[in-house]
Amino acid sequence: MEEFKLSRPIKHLAIIMDGNGRWAKKRNLPRTLGHKKACETLIEVIRETCKLDIYCLSIYAFSTENWNRPKDEIDHLFKYLDIFFKTNIKEMMDLGIKIRIMGDYTKLPKHTVKTIEKSLEDTKNNTKHVLNIALNYGSRPEIIRATKLIMEDYKNNKISLDDINEETYKNYLYTKDLPEIDLLIRTSGEQRLSNFMLYQLSYSEFIFTPTYFPDFHKEELIDCLKIFEKRDRRFGTIKE
């Protein structure tokens, strides 16, 4: 089989990794094992995006609303997150990946915070790729946070009202310095954004696949990228 190559570059891919619990339930397994399997799938996706020279991969790992899930499921999720970082950090270093976090990760369990901060420190000088992970993240809280930061800078005479525009506002978001999102993929068949990167997704292409994330392997990813390549991106204009 001929190796797939992108016919046009993708600078930023975002994925809502959905369907882990339903994947497990379908197999009569505990929901927690769906999250474990998702971590194995994730490193496969990361390898492929690096191979395709996609600069940034943003993933929705844990939302501000996910705290409403059963405590046992949350505890297992953070346990698997710790294992994911510790198991794969060497490979991510070899791939030149810099890890970034969206959201207030300091509210996570102490052992997870420690693991995250070590990974941030270890990868801070990497420049080839970015893995941008949304943890304890919600887009509405992010927008409110950005607004408060702007107000604080205005109060301290660091910016004027005339300085505030779309470019300025983007500098107060977690995604500061990251390219615009080309494509959002959501797995599991759900067709909503679930409070994920609402500001950043203004002109992104969306693909909703019925595949649960634990089964979202290289082939599924490439199928989505092939669909994207056929899209006519006009950004609000008309092409003659």
Are residues 217 and 200 in contact, defined by beta-carbon separation less than 8 angstroms?
no
Rounded-to-integer distance, Cα 169 and Cα 166, Å: 5
- Among residues 20, 28, 53, 66, which one is catalytic? 66
Q: What are phi and psi of 230, to 5 degrees?
A: -90, -5
- Among residues 18, 132, 136, 182, which one is catalytic? 18
Q: Which two tokens stand for residue 31?
A: 């929901």
Q: Which of 5, 17, 2, 33 has the alpha carbon at shortest distance from 217?
A: 17
Active site residue 94: no
Q: Which two tokens stand for residue 145?
A: 């946070």
From residue 123, give the alpha-carbon distance in Å to each of 40, 83, 90, 142, 201: 20, 17, 10, 24, 26
Active site residue 126: no
Q: Which residues have a catalytic role annotated?
A: 18, 66
